[in-house]
Homo-oligomer: A and B are copies of this chain.
């Protein structure tokens, strides 16, 4: 086992690709996302599985394992600078332990 940091970014679906690029630019070897609904300061959002057009408005929870807090902070700063004036979002980190060091992330 070895300690690592999981960064979680919950934000709007439409900027998933942009956030993924920032993750990769900062050395994340992979990321995982799940469709999310929820409620924040900009009102309720629901998971919409039918309308193509509204899939752009749903939220995503994006997760990536990064080496440490410093990397997580730099990613956060980059995401905030690029998107969070115009898009809603939250980022937080969770300390995790990787059970399979050396392998890639799905």
In which size bucket is the chain A interface? 35 or more
Q: Tell me if A38 counts as interface (CB < 8 A to partner B).
A: yes
Is there a chain B Cβ closer than 8 Å to A97's Cβ?
Answer: yes
What is the CB-to-nearest-CB distance from A102 to chain B, in angstroms, rounded to a whole number? Answer: 11
Q: Which residues of A contact B (CB under 8 A)?
A: 1, 4, 6-8, 10-12, 20, 24, 29-42, 45, 47, 49, 59, 61, 65, 69, 72-73, 76, 80, 84, 88-100, 103-106
The prevalent SS among residues of A at the interface is: strand
In the complex the two chains form, is B41's CB within 8 Å of A32's CB? no
Contact B76 A106 (CB under 8 A): no
Shortest Cβ distance from A70 into chain B, in angstroms? 11
